[in-house]
């Protein structure tokens, strides 16, 4: 999301030290952003050809996503998930959601 950098918001990408290797990581704020492919994360149609192979694979991927979300939440992380389609269709919404989460995590004393 080059758009975040253009706004002066800096982040890490693909941090292997964070469970699930999120696409975008705000480590100090404990915010993990995943941009999921509709195909690999089972949000698109399952191919009819070789269905017996693809269905369990997609189910396993979905279960992994749920497990990763849970592990991160237990460790105090905020998890945001978008599909590639959402990012392409409404980039502004995705950026606003990320920014509102980042800024709401700031502990500003009055």
Written as six digits, the tokens of 74 are 């237990």
Write the Ramachandran bin of 51: left for phi over 0, alpha for psi from -120 to 50, otherwise beta: alpha
pLDDT, residue 110, reads: 35
Helix H or strand E encompassing 12: strand 12-13
The percent of residues above 70 in pLDDT, for the chain, comes to: 95
State the average pLDDT for the chain: 90
pLDDT digits (tens, 9 = 90+) for 61-97: 999 999 999 999 999 999 999 999 999 999 999 999 9
Written as six digits, the tokens of 29 are 């704020």
Q: Among candidates 77, 99, 74, which has minimal Cα distance to 8? A: 99
CB 21 within 8 A of CB 14: yes
| Pairwise CA distance, residues 79 & 33, whole Å | 6
pLDDT band at 26 (very low <50, low <70, confident <90, very high): very high
pLDDT-wise least confident of 1-15, 17-31, 72-86: 1-15
Average pLDDT on 2-24 reads 92
Written as six digits, the tokens of 35 are 């941009």
| Pairwise CA distance, residues 33 & 101, whole Å | 11
């Amino acid at each position: 999301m080059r758009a975040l950098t253009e706004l002066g918001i800096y982040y890490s990408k693909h941090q292997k030290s964070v469970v699930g290797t999120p696409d975008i990581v705000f480590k100090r704020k404990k915010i993990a952003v995943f941009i999921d492919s509709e195909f690999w994360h089972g949000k698109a149609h399952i191919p009819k050809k070789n269905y017996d192979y693809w269905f369990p694979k997609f189910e396993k991927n979905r279960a992994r996503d749920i497990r990763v979300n849970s592990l991160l939440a237990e460790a105090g992380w905020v998890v945001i998930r978008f599909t590639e389609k959402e990012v392409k269709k409404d980039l502004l919404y995705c950026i606003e959601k990320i920014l509102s989460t980042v800024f709401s995590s700031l502990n500003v004393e009055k």
